[in-house]
């Protein structure tokens, strides 16, 4: 008997980002829709055969998408927002929903759970007519069939769809349950009319998020109904990123065929297995989100313990989630010290197949036996390797005694105020200025060796000179150097730290055609030399005003990388905190009076399950405080976070104890500030007063009103005035007038005397 293997989804962007290129070429009118469709079907075919040839039994169709699977689901349900209905052409309408067009703004986009993948947020409203459009599903299904693959079909389930949608009038989206479920029922009826049995994998990851009683009731209702429709449609319900024990106990009592669980990020899933009631278990044992080789022996042990509760023949081996979150294959990676420990999508597929064979005691080929021996060796080697382990770093970490700043905020702020001598409502920006074509080219040319280091540095100096001159000219109070030397706030630091690796082709889809290449944080972190002093000092030398130094914080550097899994994340973050603290000491010694430690990823790094939150908050705060522990009383520490929902985390923000926090509020008015007032938050706050995500230039009047609103909520002496995020994605034509208006608005308020 062969044990079966299943893959939830494959990286659709392609080995060489073919889909990205085809999409962008189509969008800019350089190629036709036929060209795009041709690339898409070639990619699908390649990816299906790739899985088939390596021995995967359950291969997905409908995991492909021209943009996003949530958007596909909205289309499947005919949930087309009113403003797009006038567009007749299906493809044109689809891309307009994703990206907007001249007449209609795009639908909103947000992060998929705690990954860096973004989905399109479906917009629901009373007047929608939900009905089934199964064309994409059926055509992908048939496409696979024509090349001899009998695919399973993947869709996003009704409850995850509703939970992650928004109603245009703010209604509870579950109120659409009774209108949406029949569409899924219709789909199953349609699939049951196909010639053979069909496997339908319905993804319901929402059930890893502390489900409510009401959600669980709806789950029961939905899957009791869906699983009763046809014996020919075998339903697999899958969750990932955490355990879903509440849902498992319900699904076990429906007629679904299988349940797919994540045993990598959801170890606790093991607790509900006794309930499975003869269902197939799709055991996600190979990490679908991280890029390290699997410890095969450990995985076999895990599977053996799973088989205490589930008969072996009912266990199907899989990855913990879709492989969408990892790059394509290590085959196109350049040689490096760590390549032998990496496993991308292609390699993970091999791991799944091999693990299945070993688990079932099937005879192995010589090559497979070699692979297993090699795996043992690699895993062992990784534990002790001096590439990964640096005893100096570990010793240092053990001996650290200074964990936080010495003085309390009330004392620090007095000293800082005196030293900085700033007016009320001090104005500043978040750090970056527009990343122009020239500045990108400059960095690229240096990398390629087209220009000398000196030429590069002269270019950077010119950019900084211009930034400083502009900021002085318009009268900002605290200046920044503009971050021209940084392409990315994680990559820049990663490249200068030991312990980070940069892949050559490790692209992962972030949204639509956008891909990111996350750094690989593989080893103990150390800082060979200062990272920011040169440019910040240069910028400071060009002005008598205060120049703010810019660093990326220990949670963000962690969260936007692929992180080693041999030590806890808290410890990795602690190592980063130490190097940041050294950098702060150096900046301070160089005369920098204000240092900002950016933590835009602080909130998205929160654990999915409530039970894990306090532990995260504890170490994240500890590490932030450790990172800034070297700051003297007179050095002002700022932090920046890019979102506008602080209610749940306000006490954690308070515990971080930054002297100043700048936040994104522009889009939510001053609503969010109320929570700061409510809890009696003492430290200073810079609520972003305009939205930098839009090219629109806010007027002086508008900004003056906005500031007046802020003053109504918080004491004026507690407030800073700034845009709501960095300006790197904007153009100078927008940035210049917007900042001018911002400074004018502040001047109006200062002069009006009602403060
Ligand atoms: N200092 C960074 C910038 O201005 C902060 C970016 C961010 O918040 N994501 O670009
Ligand atoms: Zn931001």
**Closest ligand 1 atom, residue 430 Cα:** 4
**Confidence band for 609, pLDDT divided at 50, 70 and 90:** very high
261 touches ligand 1 (CB under 6 Å): no
**Closest ligand 1 atom, residue 550 Cα:** 1
**Is a pLDDT exceeding 60 seen at residue 755?**
no
Q: What is the pLDDT of residues 168-201, one digit of tens each?
A: 999 999 999 999 999 999 999 999 999 889 999 9
Residues 532 and 481 sit within 8 Å (Cβ to Cβ): no
**Is a pLDDT exceeding 70 seen at residue 16?**
yes
Residues 512 and 65 sit within 8 Å (Cβ to Cβ): no
551 touches ligand 1 (CB under 6 Å): no
HSE toward the beta carbon, residue 408, CA cutoff 13 A: 2
Query: What is residue 553's predicted lDDT score, i.e. its pLDDT?
Result: 98
Mean pLDDT of 428-435: 98
Query: What is residue 2's predicted lDDT score, i.e. its pLDDT?
Result: 60
Residue 33 — φ and ψ, nearest 5°? -65, -35
Query: What is residue 481's predicted lDDT score, i.e. its pLDDT?
Result: 98
Q: How far is CA 79 from CA 107, 127, 433, in A?
A: 12, 10, 39
Q: Does pTM top 0.75 for this prediction?
A: yes
Least confident of 150-154, 403-407, 609-613, 690-694: 690-694
Mean pLDDT of 193-214: 96
Q: Is 86 helix (H, G, I), strand (E, B) or coil?
A: coil
Opening angle at CA 326, ends 325 and 329, nearest 5:
150
**CATH number assigned to the domain covering 5-384:** 3.20.20.210
Q: What is the pLDDT of residues 303-342, one digit of tens each?
A: 999 999 999 999 999 999 999 999 999 999 999 999 999 9
**Confidence band for 710, pLDDT divided at 50, 70 and 90:** very high
Q: What is the pLDDT of residues 105-141, one digit of tens each?
A: 999 999 999 999 999 999 999 999 999 999 999 999 9
* Cβ-count burial 567-588 (b if 16+ within 10 Å, e if not): eebbebbbbbbbbbbbbbbbbb
**Is a pLDDT exceeding 80 seen at residue 538?**
yes
**Is a pLDDT exceeding 90 seen at residue 646?**
no
Sheet architecture: strand order including 280-286: 5-6, 315-319, 280-286, 258-262, 233-238, 198-203, 152-156, 60-61
For atom 4 of ligand 1, the residue with the nearest CA is: 726
HSE toward the beta carbon, residue 76, CA cutoff 13 A: 28
Domain residue spans of the chain: 5-384, 391-750
Q: To the nearest whole percent, how much of the chain has pLDDT over 70? A: 99
Sheet architecture: strand order including 562-563: 498-501, 520-526, 562-563
Mean pLDDT for the chain overall: 96
Topology match between the domains 5-384 and 391-750: yes
**Closest ligand 1 atom, residue 725 Cα:** 8
Q: What is the pLDDT of residues 399-426, one digit of tens each?
A: 999 999 999 999 999 999 999 999 999 9
**CATH number assigned to the domain covering 391-750:** 3.20.20.210
Residues 242 and 266 sit within 8 Å (Cβ to Cβ): yes
**Closest ligand 1 atom, residue 552 Cα:** 1
For atom 10 of ligand 1, the residue with the nearest CA is: 726
Q: What is the pLDDT of residues 21-70, one digit of tens each?
A: 999 999 999 999 999 999 999 999 999 999 999 999 999 999 999 999 99
What is the maximum span of the chain, computed from C-alpha positions, in angstroms? 85
Opening angle at CA 337, ends 333 and 339, nearest 5:
35
* Chain length of the chain: 755
**Is a pLDDT exceeding 50 seen at residue 1?**
no
Query: What is residue 668's predicted lDDT score, i.e. its pLDDT?
Result: 63
431 touches ligand 1 (CB under 6 Å): yes
Two tokens at 116?
């860096």
599 touches ligand 1 (CB under 6 Å): no
93 touches ligand 1 (CB under 6 Å): no
Residues 191 and 155 sit within 8 Å (Cβ to Cβ): no
Q: How far is CA 379 from CA 340, 366, 372, in A?
A: 10, 20, 11
**Is a pLDDT exceeding 70 seen at residue 204?**
yes
Catalytic site includes residue 693: yes
For atom 1 of ligand 1, the residue with the nearest CA is: 431
Question: What are the contacts of 256-259 at 24+ separation with CB within 8 A?
Answer: 256/223, 256/226, 256/227, 257/199, 257/227, 258/234, 258/282, 258/316
Mean pLDDT of 639-665: 92
* C-alpha of residue 643 to centroid of ligand 2, in Å: 7
Mean pLDDT of 640-647: 85
**Confidence band for 667, pLDDT divided at 50, 70 and 90:** low
Query: What is residue 671's predicted lDDT score, i.e. its pLDDT?
Result: 75
Ligand 1 pocket mutation pick from 430, 556, 644, 722 by most atoms within 8 angstroms of CB = 430
**Is a pLDDT exceeding 60 seen at residue 741?**
yes
* C-alpha of residue 597 to centroid of ligand 2, in Å: 11
């Amino acid at each position: 008997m062969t044990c079966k293997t299943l893959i939830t989804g494959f990286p659709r962007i392609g080995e060489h980002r073919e889909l990205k290129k085809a999409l962008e070429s189509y969008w800019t009118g350089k190629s036709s829709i036929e060209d795009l469709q041709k690339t898409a079907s070639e990619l699908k075919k390649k990816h299906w055969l790739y899985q088939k040839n390596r021995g995967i039994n359950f291969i997905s169709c409908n995991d492909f998408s021209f943009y996003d699977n949530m958007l596909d689901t909205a289309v499947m349900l005919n949930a087309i927002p009113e403003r797009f209905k006038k567009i007749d052409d299906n493809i044109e309408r689809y891309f307009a929903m994703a990206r907007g067009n001249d007449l209609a703004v795009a639908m909103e986009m947000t992060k998929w759970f705690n990954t860096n993948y973004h989905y399109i947020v479906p917009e629901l409203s009373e007047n929608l007519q939900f009905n089934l459009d199964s064309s994409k599903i059926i055509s992908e299904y048939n496409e696979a069939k024509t090349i001899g693959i009998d695919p399973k079909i993947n869709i996003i389930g009704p409850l995850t769809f509703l939970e992650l949608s928004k109603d245009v009038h703010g209604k509870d989206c579950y109120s659409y349950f009774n209108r949406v479920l029949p569409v899924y029922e219709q789909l199953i009826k349609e699939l049951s009319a196909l010639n053979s049995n069909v496997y339908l994998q319905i993804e319901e990851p929402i059930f890893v998020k502390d489900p409510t009683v009401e959600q669980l009731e709806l789950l029961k209702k939905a899957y009791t109904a869906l699983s009763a429709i046809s014996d020919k449609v075998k339903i697999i319900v899958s969750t990932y990123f955490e355990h879903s024990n509440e849902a498992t106990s319900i699904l076990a009592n429906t007629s679904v065929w299988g349940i797919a669980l994540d045993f990598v990020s959801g170890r606790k899933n093991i607790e509900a297995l006794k309930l499975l009631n003869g269902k197939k278990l799709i055991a996600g044992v190979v990490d679908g989100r991280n890029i390290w080789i699997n410890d095969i022996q450990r995985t076999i042990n895990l599977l053996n313990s799973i088989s205490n509760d589930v008969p072996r023949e009912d266990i199907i081996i899989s990855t913990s989630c879709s492989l969408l979150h990892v790059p394509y294959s290590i085959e196109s990676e350049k040689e490096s010290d760590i390549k032998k420990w990496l496993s991308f999508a292609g390699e993970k597929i091999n791991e799944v197949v091999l693990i299945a064979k070993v688990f079932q005691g099937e005879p192995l080929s010589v090559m497979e036996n070699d692979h297993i021996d090699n795996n043992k060796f690699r895993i062992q080697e990784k534990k002790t390797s001096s590439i990964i382990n640096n005893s100096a770093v570990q010793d240092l970490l053990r001996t650290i005694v200074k964990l936080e700043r010495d003085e309390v905020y009330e004392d620090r702020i007095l000293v800082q105020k005196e030293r900085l001598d700033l007016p009320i409502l001090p104005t500043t920006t978040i750090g970056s200025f527009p990343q122009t074509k020239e500045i990108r080219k400059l960095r690229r040319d240096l990398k390629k060796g087209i220009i000398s280091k000196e030429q590069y540095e002269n270019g950077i100096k010119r950019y900084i000179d211009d930034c400083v001159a502009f900021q002085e000219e318009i009268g900002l109070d605290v200046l920044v150097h503009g971050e021209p030397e940084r392409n990315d706030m994680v990559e820049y630091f990663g490249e200068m730290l030991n312990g980070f690796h940069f892949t050559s082709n490790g692209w992962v889809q972030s949204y639509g055609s956008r891909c990111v290449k996350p750094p690989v944080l593989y080893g103990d972190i150390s800082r060979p030399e200062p990272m920011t002093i040169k440019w910040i000092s240069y910028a400071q030398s060009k002005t008598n005003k205060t120049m703010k130094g810019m660093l990326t914080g220990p949670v963000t550097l962690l969260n936007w990388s692929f992180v080693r899994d041999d030590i806890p994340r808290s410890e990795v973050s602690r190592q980063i905190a130490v190097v940041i603290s050294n950098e702060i000491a150096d900046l301070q010694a160089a005369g920098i009076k204000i240092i900002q430690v950016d933590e835009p990823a602080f909130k998205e790094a929160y654990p999915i399950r409530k039970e894990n939150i306090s532990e995260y908050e504890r170490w994240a705060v500890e590490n932030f405080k450790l990172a800034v522990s070297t700051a003297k009383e007179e050095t002002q520490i700022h932090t920046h976070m890019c979102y506008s929902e602080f209610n749940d985390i306000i006490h954690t923000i308070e515990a971080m104890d930054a002297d100043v926090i700048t936040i994104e509020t522009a889009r939510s008015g001053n609503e969010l500030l109320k929570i700061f007032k409510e809890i009696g938050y003492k430290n200073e706050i810079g609520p972003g007063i305009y939205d930098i995500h839009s090219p629109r230039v806010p007027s002086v009047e508008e900004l003056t009103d906005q500031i007046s609103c802020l003053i109504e909520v918080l004491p004026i002496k507690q407030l800073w005035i700034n845009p709501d995020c960095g300006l790197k994605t904007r153009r100078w034509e927008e940035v210049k007038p917007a900042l001018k208006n911002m400074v004018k608005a502040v001047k109006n308020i200062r002069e009006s005397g009602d403060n």
